[in-house]
Chains A and B, each alone.
Chain A
Amino acid sequence: MGKKRERIKPNVFKRLIFAFKDGSYATRLSFLVMGFGQIARGQLAKGFSYFLFQVLFALYMIFFGGRYVGHLFSGNLGSRLSGERWNESLQIFEKVSGDNSFLILLYGVVSLVLFCVFLTVWAMNVFGSYENDARLERGQELSTFRADLRSLINEKFYIPLLLPPFLGLLVFTVMPLIFMVLIAFTNYDYAHMPPGKLFDWVGFKNFQAMFSLADGAGFALVFLRVLVWTFVWAFFATFTNYFLGLVIAMLIHKKGIKLKALWRTLFVVAIAVPQFVTLLLMQKILDGDGILNKILSTNILWLADQRYFSLLPRTMIILVNIWIGVPYTLLMCSGILLNVPTDYYEAARIDGASAPQIFFKITLPYMMHITAPYLITQFVGNINNFNVIWLLTGGGPVDNVYYGGGSQAQSTDLLVTWLYRLTTDQNPKYNVASVIGIVIFVISAALSLITFNRASATKSEDAFQ
């Protein structure tokens, strides 16, 4: 017990305070001058790299980043417009480059992230020096530069493993995300497009607009409709695929059915053609002048009928999605079905259970138990299923009920396709799009939390009913 407590280190701030209180003069100085603690003890390579890092970061902040961080915290995203200005002394119009709110925000975020990186390295520098103090106190030798390098392939192997992937993550996921989350608190839309116009912070105004009805300007009703359809779609898309896939897998696995591989392949071929191709193909088949109408000699707008809240397009989307998705669940279910413990079946047969009883009492519960996490991930995936909706209907048909307050939402839009339209439309509304993105995040996060709680619950139980 006592040993265990020793291994839990106090948090970073406490450790920093300890280092300042108990550390030697070198450690204390390394709070200000990075690498001092190392150089003073003769660890030149390490010390000078720390020092160089500090100098480079300081130069970056002075000549580039500092200005943007200042903007970020001063509460304005630029005020000078670019354009032409009359120069009295030369009697000409001069071009002046003004501020660009977008770049200010972007570089501000970049600089902030770099600052966090700097803080981490800075803390490492202090702790390294403090560690040196402790070693000297105990009469141990300081670790050499080579020993440090060697530890990177042994007990610290996780650092070289994680560093490159995380660099990618930082640049292509974390920074853009912080940026877009911040956009939700600005008025960045088609009326405020830099460099011609600037945008600025507006606080929670976008969120208020999204969730209120304020005389036509609020999107609450539109939002609610899109949200409800998103969930209805995700529910049907997930469960139709799941059950049909399971049923087909069971049919193929039924005793006495021959050519099992052939049947499976028939369905798997549908996976092999890229999704966007099959979706475009389906869209053209179901189009107003598509082949289906020609064959049936009808004139049905399969994907564009607005009546009954666009019931027909919605049904068609779910049907096409079955075509797209069932092969995947089929593959998965066949894999799992092979592993259902046979003693369950034998016991049931001895007890004289009928086939439906066996299905509902053994197969289905077993499958549900094993694939519950998959179902929830699938559900979240379907909430964000952009391709199916976008390629089939493009979110349409345009339904006047949905166009409240210039929301630009259409009748089969999911939250994601709505978000996408808002950012790629001729009159983009990045701020509203960001709010939607945050909402999607909250929904996915809540659902995933449920999954993980469930998963850990089943782990401890370890048996299904």
Chain B
Amino acid sequence: MTGNFLKIRKHASNLLVYAILVTLGILWVLPIGYLVYTAFRVTPSTGIINTLFPDDLRLGFSNFSRLFGDTLFSQWLGNTMIVAISSCALTTAFILMVSYALSRLRFRLRRPIMNVLLVLGMFPGFMSMIAVYFILKAMGLTNSLLALVLVYSGSAALSYYICTGFFDTVPRAMEEAAILDGASQPIVFWKIILPMAKPIIVYTVLTSFISPWCDFIFVNTIINDRNKYTVALGLYKMINAEKNSFNDNFTVFCAGALVVGAIIVTLFMSMQKYYVEGITAGAVKG
């Protein structure tokens, strides 16, 4: 009797949980669905959807052909790819170098350096943006993709702590054995520590690869040339540049956003496991 009652109660509570999950799931998917729908929508005149059920429900790829034909999107995509790959390589290398040195090596200035990095990381990045712009200008680098790469990876050392937390957990016994066998420090770094740190490396690669796809603020300050935009700034300007640009370009914007989203989704899905490990490691280690 009581067993039956418990079973029913359990079923009921599970049903409730399903109901909540479905509601929340819809809430979370709906805007994305709206984005996808708008991207494929065939628009007679203007792109904006003003009613819940528009009179014209035709779908097609016209927004994508406009995106690649009429705008500089393919150029921006290429730019972003170049910037993302180079800054990702540089950032990952920098972070690994700094965190390895601070976690595994012992030297006089280790503590002070960690403290200085901590303090530097607390200044808001925007504050120095104007100065960064003028430094780049003095170097003759404004309006170039190289400038973006340098800006994105220049301050990489500040985010050393997630990796440091991970390196700290790698046991010392192996590297001590290797050093006794006559291995030099670079060999230890390359052959022993790096293979063990795979999850955190993937996490770093992923986050540093994605950030150029999402930043439009630094690009906006550093780059004026439409040909040198990254996708983020290009899309942002597409619907914010002029008064009418939103109505004219919204569907094309959605198409572009979908392309960027697809690239990032692919990356995420293939590396989700590592990403979660990275977030968790960062959270627990602080």
Query: Footprint of B on A, CB under 8 Å?
Result: 9, 102-103, 106-107, 110, 153-154, 156-158, 161-162, 164-166, 168-169, 171-177, 179-180, 248, 251-252, 254, 256-257, 263, 266-278, 280-282, 284-285, 289, 291, 294-295, 323, 326-328, 331-332, 334-336, 370-371, 373-374, 377, 380, 384, 386, 416, 419-420, 423, 430, 433-434, 437, 440-441, 444-445, 448, 451-452, 455
Contact = CB atoms under 8 A, between A and B. Distances in A.
Given A180-B131, A335-B276, 6 more contacts: A171-B154, A174-B120, A271-B268, A273-B265, A278-B32, A423-B129
B261 A277 contact: yes
A274 B98 contact: no
Nearest to B154: A172
Contacts of B67: none
A277 B257 contact: yes
B132 interface: yes
A280 B236 contact: yes
Interface string B205-243: 000001001101100000000000000100110010000
A276 B126 contact: no
Interface in B132-173: 132, 134-135, 138, 150-151, 153-158
B286 A451 contact: yes
**B51, B127, B235, B246 pick with most chain A CB within 10 angstroms:** B127
B124 A274 contact: no
Contact of B28 (A256, A269, A275, A295): A269
Contacts of A323: 27-28, 31
B279 A332 contact: yes
B57 interface: no
A263 B26 CA distance: 11
B235 A374 contact: no
Contact of A281 (B35, B213, B260): B35
A274 B214 contact: yes
Summarize A's interface: helix, strand, loop or mixed. Answer: helix
B90 to A, nearest CB: 8
Contacts of A180: 127-128, 130-131
A423 B135 CA distance: 16
A458 to B, nearest CB: 10
Interface string B186-215: 100100000000000000000000100110
Contacts of B157: 165-166, 168-169
Nearest to B265: A272
A257 B14 contact: yes
Nearest to B153: A168
A252 B21 contact: yes
Contacts of A327: 28
A423 B20 contact: no
A327 B144 CA distance: 35
3 A-B pairs closest in CB distance: A373-B286, A172-B154, A176-B128
A153 B50 contact: no
Contacts of B213: 274
A198 B240 CA distance: 34
Interface of B: 10, 14, 17-18, 20-21, 24-25, 27-29, 31-32, 34-35, 49-52, 94-95, 97-98, 100-101, 105, 107-108, 110, 113, 118-120, 122-124, 126-132, 134-135, 138, 150-151, 153-158, 184-186, 189, 210, 213-214, 216-217, 232, 235-236, 239, 246, 250, 253-254, 257, 260-261, 264-265, 268, 272, 275-277, 279-280, 282-286
Contact of A272 (B151, B236, B268): B268
B123 A177 contact: yes
Contacts, number: 247
A335 B280 CA distance: 6
Nearest to B254: A281
Contacts of B236: 276, 280
Contacts of A291: 34, 49-50, 52
A130 B214 CA distance: 52
B31 A164 contact: no
A194 to B, nearest CB: 11
B32 A269 contact: yes
A179 B128 contact: yes
A175 to B, nearest CB: 7
A176 B154 CA distance: 12
Contact of A177 (B127, B239, B250): B127
A248 B134 CA distance: 47
A326 B25 CA distance: 12
Nearest to B33: A269
A273 B94 contact: no
Given A277-B260, A280-B236, A433 B127 contact: yes
Contacts of B153: 168
A266 B122 CA distance: 34
A165 B277 contact: no
Contacts of A275: 214
A273 B97 contact: no
A371 B283 CA distance: 6
A165 B117 CA distance: 12
23 contacts: A153-B184, A157-B186, A161-B105, A162-B113, A165-B98, A165-B156, A169-B155, A175-B131, A256-B14, A263-B21, A266-B25, A273-B265, A274-B213, A277-B257, A280-B236, A335-B277, A336-B280, A336-B284, A370-B284, A386-B217, A419-B126, A441-B122, A451-B286
B185 A162 contact: no
A448 B122 contact: yes
A177 B155 CA distance: 12
Contacts of A179: 128, 131
Contacts of A173: 120, 123, 128, 154-155, 158
A423 to B, nearest CB: 6
B123 A441 contact: yes
B264 A437 contact: no
B118 A448 contact: yes
A123 B75 CA distance: 50
Contacts of B52: 291, 294-295
Given A175-B131, A328-B279, A455-B286, A274 B257 contact: yes
A252 B235 CA distance: 35
Contacts of B129: 176, 423
